[in-house]
Amino acid sequence: MCYGCNPSCENCKPKFVKCPACGLKNYLFSDRCVKCSAEISEEVKDAARDEWQNSHEKTSSKAE
């Protein structure tokens, strides 16, 4: 979290990744799904990070 930041800002709010087996949203730092215990691969996490980064860039460019 940023110093003195609001936890709902785009940089600090939790990032999620969907479980490839059951579709449940899990925290990005999770290694296994909390519902079905399926492994969440680094490839799936990287795709979720890229998706967040792309959506974050779109929203920040609108603010300018």
Residue 4 lies in a domain: no
Count up the domains in the chain and report the number. 1
Is residue 6 assigned to a domain?
no
Residue 24: pLDDT over 90: yes
In a domain, 3, yes or no: no
pLDDT band at 4 (very low <50, low <70, confident <90, very high): low
Say whether pTM exceeds 0.75.
no
Asked if the structure places residue 11 within a domain, the reply is no
Residue 56 belongs to a domain: yes
pLDDT, average across residues 24-52: 95
Which one is predicted more confidently, 63 or 21? 21
pLDDT at 18: 95
Amino acid at 13: K
- What is the structure's pLDDT at 38? 97
Residue 44 lies in a domain: yes
Residue 33 maps to a domain: yes
Contact 12, 2 (CB under 8 A): yes
Is 8 part of any domain?
A: no
Provide the domain limits for residue 23: 16-63
Cβ proximity of 20 and 30 under 8 Å: no
